[in-house]
Amino acid sequence: MANLVAIVGRPNVGKSTLFNRLTQTRHAIVSDESGTTRDRQYGKCEWTGHEFSVVDTGGWVVNSDDIFEEEIRKQVTVATEEADVILFLVDTGTGITDLDEAVAGILRRTKKKVILVANKTDNNDQVFQAAEFYALGLGDPHCISSATGSGTGDLLDLVVESLPKESGEQPDQDIPRFAVVGRPNVGKSSLVNAFIGEDRHIVTDIAGTTRDSIYTRYEKFGFDFYLVDTAGIRRKNKVTEDLEFYSVMRSIRSIENADVCILMIDATRGIESQDLNIFQVIQRNMKSLVVVVNKWDLVPDKNQRVMDEFINAIRYRMAPFSDFPIIFASALTKQRIFRVLETAKDVYLARTRRVTTAKLNEEMLPLIEAYPPPSIKGKYIKIKYCMQLPATAVPSFVFYANLPQYVKEPYRRFLENKIRERWDFTGTPINIFIRQK
């Protein structure tokens, strides 16, 4: 299982800055206004050969005009349930506030590893000021400055040391893993129950019933695979948590451990921002995709025009990646549910497809000659040879050029589209690399 590290703390202590520092991105928007974070709060961090996921919880606080203590409490509760290591960020400049004490109260009760991080510690005087955080009862405060990066290396050493070691029974690595993901109450567990013909997963009308990822080994159509339902039993008193935060955080693990993601969308509600959040996680992890529009039996006018409108809306919202199958199904009436599995199987096979070097050059080189990359500053780019890289997680193609630095993104997309036209890579992302000849 992929390890998950959550950054928690009250607003405006620098969670997004630390997130950007750890993931070496600038995804999270940084501003002095509290409650700014809204999108892209999930990323990867690699340190001393260990890779783990980082989640910035700030973005899921609702009502940014009036940050409720209750909302932050929900965030922290979900983070303590889902993450392996929790980074509790406090601000040396302002010292301990009531909100810090409220968060610390929750964290003291968890069995997970909590690292107290004193941020905005830019000089020696502030290091001495950080001593007041011992009063939170969470051990030594680790002084850092997420803005300048000072102290973050030592912090990462401690995070890697604190990550749980792999244990327990691992699913067979040679068998494909399909994850059923989507926002709460979209019918994920119902779909898995329909597949396996028994109520293995608890289904209720309460959004967020699901708890732990369950691997169900399954044989259908002469194909052996695991179904990963983000499923299990969830205590009733937990269902009030912020559902967007919960569903994205819950899906991260399943997506990272899957080969093909079956993303479920509610036909009665259309495509929502939460669906796009989960789609972005699938894309960032380079996983194959099948979109299932569930509850199709509840749509009043089920004609071809309505279906086409749905398909166009989904492809438009998820662009530029649009080469994935869309299936209209109903987990309740079992309409087209086995087509979902057949399609997931086809998409997995596309993910493992190999194109011989001879065939690839025979098809692609005449095309490249007819439509070469545009010249830049009077320099002509020549591509003379291409091949598919062996043993990669997703299909990856390398094109050898005399001036690879001048080949821009639109031309890479052109190459990808031409490969997709000639070979079936439906539902699967493709890597295009341009290298020096």
Section 19-42 average pLDDT: 59
- Two structure tokens written together for 393: 């997680």
In whole numbers, what is the pLDDT of the chain averaged over residues? 80
Supply the pLDDT for residue 222.
65
The more confident residue out of 186 and 411 is 411
Q: Diameter of the chain by CA atoms?
A: 71
Checking if the pLDDT of 399 tops 50, the result is yes
Cα dist from 74 to 9, 16, 175, whole Å: 12, 18, 37
The more confident residue out of 298 and 67 is 298
> Coil, strand or helix: which one is 425?
coil
Which amino acid makes up residue 47? W
> Coil, strand or helix: which one is 45?
strand
Contact status, residue 250 vs residue 82, Cβ threshold 8 Å:
yes
Q: Which band of pLDDT confidence, cut at 50, 70 and 90, is reported for residue 433? A: very high
Strand order in the sheet with 177-181: 214-220, 223-229, 177-181, 260-266, 288-294, 326-328
Question: CA-to-CA distance for 193 and 148, rounded, in angstroms?
Answer: 50
331 class by beta-carbon count within 10 Å (0-12 exposed, 13-18 middle, 19+ buried): buried
When mean pLDDT is compared across 27-31, 223-227, 307-311, 382-386, the lowest value belongs to: 27-31
Pairing of strands 4-8, 50-56: parallel
Question: CA-to-CA distance for 412 and 431, rounded, in angstroms?
Answer: 9
Q: Which band of pLDDT confidence, cut at 50, 70 and 90, is reported for residue 68? A: low
Question: CA-to-CA distance for 222 and 251, rounded, in angstroms?
Answer: 28
Helix/strand/coil percent split, the chain, to 5? 40, 20, 40
Give alpha helix (H) positions in 240-374: 243-256, 273-284, 304-317, 337-351, 357-370
Q: Which band of pLDDT confidence, cut at 50, 70 and 90, is reported for residue 212? A: very low
Supply the pLDDT for residue 376.
83
> In this prediction, what percent of the chain has a pLDDT beyond 90?
26
When mean pLDDT is compared across 94-108, 175-189, 318-332, the lowest value belongs to: 175-189
pLDDT, tens digit, 9 for 90 and up, residues 255-285 = 887 889 999 998 888 888 878 888 888 888 8
Section 230-237 average pLDDT: 37
Q: By C-alpha distance, which of 99, 240, 103, 226 is closest to 173?
A: 226
pLDDT, tens digit, 9 for 90 and up, residues 318-360 = 888 888 999 998 888 888 888 888 899 899 989 989 999 999 9
Q: What is the pTM of this model?
A: 0.69
Supply the pLDDT for residue 242.
46
Supply the pLDDT for residue 211.
41
pLDDT, tens digit, 9 for 90 and up, residues 190-209 = 887 777 665 554 454 444 44
Cα dist from 32 to 14, 16, 109, 286, 433, whole Å: 9, 11, 31, 33, 39
Name the DSSP class of 181: E
Checking if the pLDDT of 246 tops 80, the result is no
Q: Which band of pLDDT confidence, cut at 50, 70 and 90, is reported for residue 238? A: very low
Q: Which band of pLDDT confidence, cut at 50, 70 and 90, is reported for residue 32? A: very low
Question: Which residue's entry shows tokens 């610390």?
Answer: 104
DSSP codes, 46-95: EETTEEEEEEEGGGG-S-TTS--HHHHHHHHHHHHHH-SEEEEEEETTT-
For the chain, the residue count is 437
